[in-house]
Amino acid sequence: MQATRIIAIRHGETAWNVDTRLQGHLDIALNAKGLWQAEQVARVLAGEPIEAVYTSDLLRAWHTARAIAQSTEAPLVARQDLRERCFGSFEGKTHAELEAQWPEASLRWRQREPDWAPPGGESLLALRQRINRTVAALAQQHLGGQIVLVAHGGVMDVLYRLATGQDLQAPRTWQLGNAAINRLLWTADGLTLVGWGDTGHLEEATLDEGSA
């Protein structure tokens, strides 16, 4: 059975990541650390055979993906269907603000109710369906090859759950690090996990800078 190798990357850090502020579809740029992380992941992927880099069209993902595309000389394609989960009226709020302003809705969000959506937003079920459909469509175009997907924390979480059979409400025991390298394999049977949460390129670069 033919397979497509997928390298899935969460965008670099933003100021709103640091503030625990929900970004959703709001177009927040990378902060200085995020730009540095994008450079480091691009550097370590430079030698990989990559047929295409697909990215969410939001700036934080686009800038991360652009660095990877430049280092690998792979074509760069923006896709709205790789965006983060839409959080509707929750967007722009911190976790603490949500709990204070909408305690009942905040609880339903934290309990990961699959069919519940924030007002004007997207449910986890809808997000999973969107990402599953998008990844399958892209992977089918590159059977036998390797592609990069650059997206968001919620997208990475869905990919992990799809690849491991984890329920949408299962407690998360895996990391969703900014600019971490996650590797998956796609076949007609779906996704399988190859490797997850590799941040060695970020740690090594930090050590190199410190010793310079």
Q: Could you give the residue numbers annotated as active site?
A: 11, 84
Phi, psi at 194, each rounded to 5°: -105, -45
**Which of 27-32's residues contact partners 24+ apart within 8 Å by CB, and which partners?**
27/58, 27/59, 27/60, 28/58, 28/59, 28/60, 29/59, 29/60, 29/63, 30/59, 30/60, 30/63, 30/64
Q: Do residues 6 and 135 lie in contact, with contact meaning Cβ atoms separated by under 8 Å?
A: yes
Beta bridge mates, 191: 186
Q: Is 151 helix (H, G, I), strand (E, B) or coil?
A: strand
Report how far apart, in Å, the C-alpha atoms of 87 and of each of 24, 117, 210 are: 5, 8, 39
